[in-house]
Structure 1
Amino acid sequence: MKGFNKSQPYNDLPLLPPQAELETKEILTKTIRASRALAQLNGAIRNLPNPSLFLDTLHLQEAKASSEIENIITTNDDLYQAVVADKKFDNPATKEVISYKEAIWLGFSRLEQRPFITTNLCIELVQCIKQNTAGIRTTPGTTLSNRQGEVIYTPPSGEQVIREKMANIETFINENDSIDPLIKMAISHYQFEAIHPFSDGNGRTGRILLLLQLKLEKLLDVPALFLSEYIIKHKDMYYEGLRSVTENNEWSTFIRYMLDMVETTAIKGLERLESIVQLMDTTGQEIKEKLPKVYSKDLVEVIFKLPYTKRQNLINADLGTPKTVGNYLIALEEAGFLKSIKVGKEKLYLNRPLMNILEN
């Protein structure tokens, strides 16, 4: 393709919107299916008695998967223990995943204040993910290589060039209403990854932007979608799709991939949500029958907020004195609802059936 040489900075990266046929019959059919699946998930979240209840858990799962794509690996146990326990975890991967979760929340709160996606917001997100003061990439020589170490792409170089291309993305996302929002999301995701504006954290920032665009377009109220899980499973197809746009201006494959991702993850997200709600209902019922003096709706919500809980979480929910809530937790463990585990000097309680749903 004119202007593209994998070893040269791609400063001729075409601006958006693309000069290509985007809304083919096949793409529009997939768009309808993806939109429907997303609407069902969003409706189910809205209908929850307490929509914020599962959000921490869902965000951590997305953060874990997104970080895994960058080979930042942590276990669910490490992750949830680190969030609940006071013990400071030395595992840098766990810290990065928690920073990513914070970046998702940061993005959503910024959109609540001002519904625009900007270059400055992207910089804020990457700084939150990396916990540093990174800005737009200024040092030349950035290249992307495959597993064999061969250069497969050289992103645009020079801060001014990068900022101009980011300004074009801003306009496309915030002002272009002529393209279906999900197709627009796929296009801007390619463009962000092709610009590669930061020295590190581009993939994770780009994946948060997917969730933010769904919010901006009023397709998803809360970031309860594990998009990264799909990319992990179909990683080669993802990179092939990106490359086919760059090398051949072939958008169709990549857009279809992104629409499949939205549809598949929304369907799976809905199933997972329904499983958790069902588990919570049956567990609540069983606690009520076996431990009527311990049971309360608020208690059940606390032990379903995250897979791990501790005495302080129950105290914070005004469920009783330290001694009372300590007795509740002991009773719940003796009855088989929770399992205690020592983390540092603290005792945490694991809701194993909830963790099982999250891990499947």
Structure 2
Amino acid sequence: MKTSQFQAGKFQSIHAYDYQYFLPESINHSFEIDSGNLQVQLEKSTRLLGELNAMARMVPNIDLFIMSFINNEATQSSKIEGTQTEIEDSFKKESDIKIEQKDDWLEVKLYIDAIKEAINKLDEIPISTRLIKQIHKTLLSSGRGVEKMPGEFRTSQNWIGGNNINTADFIPPHHDFVNELIGDLENFLHSQHPVPEIIKIAIIHYQFETIHPFLDGNGRVGRILIPLYLVSNNLLSKPLLYMSAFFETNKNSYYQKLMKVRVNNELLDWLLFFLKGVEQTAEHSIEILNEVLDLKTNLTQTIRGNTGNRANNNLKLLEKLFQMPYIRVEDVREQLEVSSATAKNIVDDLVRVEILEELTKNKRNRLFAFKPYLNLLKKPFPKYE
């Protein structure tokens, strides 16, 4: 099928109810690119993704920095759903979160758990209904979603937007069609149709969001599928591309372009938007990774030049800080397996050279932040052009 000839599906009435649900067509077939603009954008997106992948292979200890990408993804994806947690909060322990922020914080932490668990499970099982349900089960295992059938497809009608089904912005397919539609999506996911992989995951993401197979958490699951697909199909060797910052920055366009596919069959416009998102996200990730590496190099020199005979231990702590940028003296003692006195001296050294900043001003149980790194991670994402 040519992309310009795509038919998304149709709206259908349900007997005795005053609303129409959308029933999408099957996607398990070939897609032929018949747009010069799409071909040009595909080449740009593929090149940037390749550059990101090459960088991931070259960077020593790349796993040190992956958590920052995962935490940022969890924060941005949850923001799309309305949470207010910032990336710095995602690194904090629950005891450091204000009571009124804990529900949002928990949602982000469960998202982080779901991503890490799914990536690890790729070694055991492919992306499948089983894995999708497991991701959902983890996402909704606690907090606000625990009563929304974690790990199970819905058995009732849901809707998107509006206070009720009669004022909804969009009504996904009736629940009787969910298993069949997800089966078709899974078949397409593993098919050998000659479709470029980035185009394929763009179509999969659209279709998953349209099916909306769960009572809650569909957007988060759909966004997690993107890096999983890229890793499982060897476009990335490490999970470093997460698109939620792009979707959050361009939230209105994101929803509008999904809806235009359903209503007007505008698949091309969605594909161009998604591929531009891949390009910008890869470019942003490369930029952040370069800045993190420069920061690490500069701080290593600072520690070696200014902390005397404790430099080795201080450098060991610096490595830890890229994964846990909020830390207490007790954490340092446990992580480096040193005495409490030595841990305090290490922290004091890093405060003195302005790598750590004390937040609590308490004599005991003081909390310190790796501010240079946290400030870098908050760099704004560019607006879609």
TM-score by length of 2: 0.85
* Equivalent pair of 2:111/2:139 in contact (CA under 8 Å): yes
User: 2:10 corresponds to which letter in structure 1?
Assistant: G
Post-superposition shift, 1:248? 2.0
1:93-141 per-position Cα deviation (integer Å, ceiling 9, x unaligned): 0010010011011111111222x2111211111111111452101023x
Corresponding residue for 2:139? 129
Identity of aligned residues (%): 27
Residue of 347, 352, 356 corresponding to 2:371: 352
SS of aligned partner of 1:305: coil
User: Structure 1 residue runs of 4+, over 4 Å off?
Assistant: 18-21, 85-89, 146-149
State the distance in 1 between where 2:249 and 2:86 align.
17
Alignment-derived partner of residue 9 in structure 1 = 21
How far apart, CA to CA, are the structure 2 residues paired with 1:56 and 1:307?
A: 11
Residues 17, 172 of structure 1: 8 Å contact kept: yes
Equivalent in the alignment of 2:53: 42
Normalized against structure 1, the TM-score is what?
Answer: 0.91
Structure 2 letter corresponding to 1:150: T
Q: Report the Cα offset of residue 295 of structure 1.
A: 1.6
Which amino acid in 1 is paired with 2:249?
Answer: K
Q: Paired residue for 1:175?
A: 191
* 1:253 match: secondary structure: helix
Distance across 1 between alignment mates of 2:188 and 2:181: 11
> Residue by residue, what CA displacement relative to the aligned partner does 1:297-316 show, whole Å, maximum 9, x if unpaired?
42321222232223344334
What's the RMSD between the two structures over aligned residues? 2.4
Q: Is the 8 A contact 2:70 2:112 kept in 1?
A: yes
Aligned partner of residue 11 in structure 2, secondary structure: coil
Amino acid at match of 1:308: Y
Alpha-carbon distance between aligned partners in 2 of 1:23 and 1:325, rounded to the nearest angstrom: 62
Higher relative contact order (CA 8 A, sep 6+): 1
The answer on 1:314 being equivalent to 2:332 is: yes
Shift of 1:72: 1.2
SS in 1 for 2:310: coil
Letter paired with 1:112: D
User: Given that residues 87 and 343 in structure 1 are in contact (C-alpha distance below 8 angstroms), is that contact kept between their aligned partners in structure 2?
Assistant: no
Between the two proteins, the alignment pairs up a number of residues equal to: 354
Alignment of 1:322-337 (within 5 A): 322-337=340-355
CA pair 310-39 structure 1, distance change in 2 beyond 3 A = farther
Q: Give the Cα–Cα distance (whole angstroms) in 2 for the partners of residues 274 and 34 of structure 1.
A: 19
**Distance change (3 Å), C-alpha of 1:220 and 1:146:** farther
Give, in whole Å, the separation in 2 of the partners of 1:276 and 1:175.
Answer: 38
Which residue number in structure 1 is paired with residue 63 of structure 2? 52
| CA positional deviation for 1:181 | 0.2
Q: Could you tell me how far 1:266 is from its partner in structure 2?
A: 0.5
Q: Is the 8 A contact 1:107 1:212 kept in 2?
A: yes
C-alpha distance 217-19 of structure 1, shift in aligned 2 (>3 A): closer
The correspondence for 1:76, drawn from 87, 99, 109, is: 87
1:147-181 CA distance string (max 9 Å, x none): 998323211112x4201110111110112341000
Alignment of 1:148-187 (within 5 A): 150-158=167-175, 160-187=176-203
Q: Deviations over 1:245-294 (max 9, x none)?
A: 11122210001111000100100010001001101110110111010222
